[in-house]
Structure 1
């Protein structure tokens, strides 16, 4: 993950879990030498290449409260280390040895814009009531910030350091990403015109803007060349990554043939006319590739050593209860006894992609067909689709899964008695909704770090996240009765199938108590439930031994219950 090329040293940096934990590595392409740079007892979450050193972010057991360290040579010295705070990187001034960053206390909804001297001394410039993100320094006394409006959209702000004042940029609230500033131009990805993430040129001062691309899909990666003459775009076309080269003068785009299918997770320019990218597909584990823009050839530079066999799979879609076309992909099996598990992704503003997933691969090798839908509310299909499950439309997304089950039965993909459901995070909530509202439909279910009651989730999630999530689910004040009525926990007595639950003690997004309360309710009713809680994980599992343990338990459970 997170590929970056440092041209001064002609070295490629990336984060890898090869050691069993996420650590920072580098690779010298000319010498073919790979070196592990960090050996932290916690996972490395991110890093930034400065001129003379590397800034590294680690957290404690996945709690997402990134603590910053400076790595100069083999030494890692603390820079921003206060375990009660989340730290968010902004910008580094190597001339003054000063960082600009944002922090917020884990129990507060306030966010501090700070400068931090290289020795770790903090100075708070301004405190904002709600989540902000540092984007760019416009001048020595003015910085561009974004403020979260809801869980999707942001508003752009200019903060004047001398006056201590904030003014709004005259642009619509929208999704923004990948800002590029050069030659008095500001380019970025935004969906403010048509609901799809396209390249725009925007004027921060007067709010004027011009769309430079017109894809009817989301652009997810936008890298500008060193001479600023061109950019590489990675476009998410129905889950697949498709690469384009864009001339920044003529604005013409040219499709590249670097990959045929799958997902580009990260990319960067290398030397001359070459690209480095991290790629995977359903049966191709993550690898680093080098692509020549001159010859069109692509070669694997670094990859996993284990052998994988070909997976029979396809992209497809079905019509839901209201005529909405819902995309999905399926790992097919030629086993004599047909059986399937539907896996629902998290978010809900996320998307299932045809990337390598070890659990899906292992289930498929065991003869279980894995069916992965992008139900309404998923990103990647435009603004209307993204908002189609908001608030009181929540159960429409649940109906999408029920219609998918009917589609699998009608198309003879699996018999009605051999279909299970599972999901992670929001997908865990959807799983619990399905087995409490319609328990008769499923052979078994797996809930991973899922929400069991929307009211208690909103009550216990960090204060700054509460308002953002309420925009998706509805607030307790306005929709409390609805949240109580549909939530799985009050209906837990209706679960009549085997259920497995996984959670972790340091989850910063879905409180650990969400799983505890539904497991306890099921045990009180003498219902079948298995529960595994990992002591050293957060919302996203990062220790390979825990991932392997969970995957093996799920495989055994589904083999037994299907």
Structure 2
């Protein structure tokens, strides 16, 4: 941290964690900072700029995952998201003087993402991630009364900001048919106005395919019922079935495929007549903290088995050609592709991976120090003999002969 007109700087944090700023208080005397350890564990602090003192927000002995945080307009409280006592990141209000936290979105069983407060401090806008699709919410802070908003297209919402007079809310919207563009929502009239039209190279965007959200059964059960894995299904519209299939596997693994603009996908679908399936297998974010940990450590290959279950589902769909299936992914998604090649080589026509993990032990031993412990929390600690043996056994290089 440094003042622009001064050369003296101050180092905040350290200790192997990742620290970054979140929001200034209204008087610019305090700064909210976040200490990130893993997707399952983080903390928020108030940094007093005069004294350099760090005060924890909502201190707890439990592991809590925090998301966004910002000051109230009067500087007396903090709005933040966390998964404390919940599967999902809920919106809370923290009274600084009383050190008390109140849950505001207990009625919403999805992660709350972007949050913005009006200049007058009477309205609060936020976005929820509902199975990968963004939903916009607007509430009056007094009484927490719901304000109606129009239905927005399937896609991702971000960049929330109130106009100076608080009559409109600016946002960005990215959909499978349009890249990120700027819109404004007139709050009283519920009217959405588009201000930009991003370059699409002459494409007829109305012809681009919007995916369908599907769920398919996998190998294990939850409460006596088959666990259902969510996936986005892009189906060609102008060719005759059966369609060849590309299974796109996201990276992370603590990430999530969400429907947004992809010229690559649309080329496959519209020009090549290929159906695209983008699953969010176990270990993906956005479906609760239990789900995101279902592939940790010794459960690593269970996420690969979810792809095997998707191959089973493809076989049951008459419009899909189960003899022409490819898998595609990069980074951790690249590992998943390599693992699928060794597990399901007789069921795949081809595979394409980019910078995938081919050996977990060499990856953990050679990745940058700052991220090593965070990756060990996910993949397992290769210094433990039993875990090391397991990681070697499941690494694609070990199973390349298959």
User: So what's the TM-score if we normalise by structure 2?
Assistant: 0.87
Gap change, CA 1:286 and 1:393, over 3 Å in 2:
same
Moved more, 264-273 or 179-188: 264-273
2:48 maps to 1:147: no
Give distance in 2, aligned partners of 1:127 and 1:149: 12
* 1:264 counterpart residue number: 157
1:130 equivalent among 3, 8, 16: 16
Could you tell me how far 1:332 is from its partner in structure 2? 0.5
Contact 1:151–1:472 (8 Å) recurs in 2: no
Aligned residues: 380
Give distance in 1, aligned partners of 2:169 and 2:392: 51
Give distance in 1, aligned partners of 2:329 and 2:187: 39
* 1:254 counterpart residue number: 147
Contact 2:32–2:69 (8 Å) recurs in 1: no
Give distance in 2, aligned partners of 1:380 and 1:191: 11
Could you tell me how far 1:198 is from its partner in structure 2? 1.6
* 1:326 counterpart residue number: 229
Could you tell me how far 1:247 is from its partner in structure 2? 0.9
Please show how residues 249-328 of structure 1 align to structure 2 within 5 Å: 249-257=142-150, 259-272=152-165, 273-305=167-199, 306=202, 307-308=204-205, 309-311=207-209, 313-322=211-220, 323-328=226-231
2:389 equivalent among 471, 478, 481: 481
SS at match of 1:468: helix
Gap change, CA 1:312 and 1:383, over 3 Å in 2:
closer
Please show how residues 460-471 of structure 1 align to structure 2 within 5 Å: 460-471=366-377
Give distance in 1, aligned partners of 2:193 and 2:31: 41
Gap change, CA 1:270 and 1:388, over 3 Å in 2:
same
Gap change, CA 1:136 and 1:345, over 3 Å in 2:
same
Could you tell me how far 1:157 is from its partner in structure 2? 4.3
Give distance in 1, aligned partners of 2:148 and 2:40: 29
Deviation digits for residues 332-362 of structure 1 (CA, Å, limit 9, x no counterpart): 0253352001001111111111211111111
Give distance in 1, aligned partners of 2:322 and 2:393: 28
Could you tell me how far 1:271 is from its partner in structure 2? 4.4
Gap change, CA 1:412 and 1:220, over 3 Å in 2:
same
Contact 1:432–1:447 (8 Å) recurs in 2: yes
* 1:383 counterpart residue number: 289
Could you tell me how far 1:217 is from its partner in structure 2? 0.9
* 1:472 counterpart residue number: 378
* 2:244 counterpart residue number: 339
Give distance in 1, aligned partners of 2:314 and 2:14: 50
Give distance in 2, aligned partners of 1:281 and 1:292: 21
Contact 2:77–2:96 (8 Å) recurs in 1: no
Contact 1:151–1:469 (8 Å) recurs in 2: no
Please show how residues 108-123 of structure 1 align to structure 2 within 5 Å: 116-118=2-4, 121-123=7-9
* 1:535 counterpart residue number: none
Gap change, CA 1:142 and 1:433, over 3 Å in 2:
same
Contact 2:39–2:65 (8 Å) recurs in 1: no
User: So what's the TM-score if we normalise by structure 1?
Assistant: 0.63
Structure 1's unaligned 5+ residue stretches are 1-99, 101-115, 495-562
1:236 equivalent among 116, 121, 129: 129
Give distance in 1, aligned partners of 2:212 and 2:80: 33
Contact 2:88–2:288 (8 Å) recurs in 1: yes
Contact 1:428–1:449 (8 Å) recurs in 2: yes
Moved more, 118-127 or 175-184: 118-127
Contact 2:32–2:70 (8 Å) recurs in 1: no
Deviation digits for residues 402-457 of structure 1 (CA, Å, limit 9, x no counterpart): 10111011122423220110112211111111112322121111112321111111
Give distance in 2, aligned partners of 1:228 and 1:157: 22
2:138 maps to 1:245: yes
Could you tell me how far 1:140 is from its partner in structure 2? 8.9
Could you tell me how far 1:235 is from its partner in structure 2? 1.3
Gap change, CA 1:134 and 1:267, over 3 Å in 2:
closer
Could you tell me how far 1:286 is from its partner in structure 2? 2.6
Give distance in 1, aligned partners of 2:278 and 2:297: 23
* 1:430 counterpart residue number: 336
Could you tell me how far 1:301 is from its partner in structure 2? 0.9
Give distance in 1, aligned partners of 2:159 and 2:49: 34
Structure 2's unaligned 5+ residue stretches are 221-225
Deviation digits for residues 268-323 of structure 1 (CA, Å, limit 9, x no counterpart): 22243112221122223332222211211212210124332142631110110112
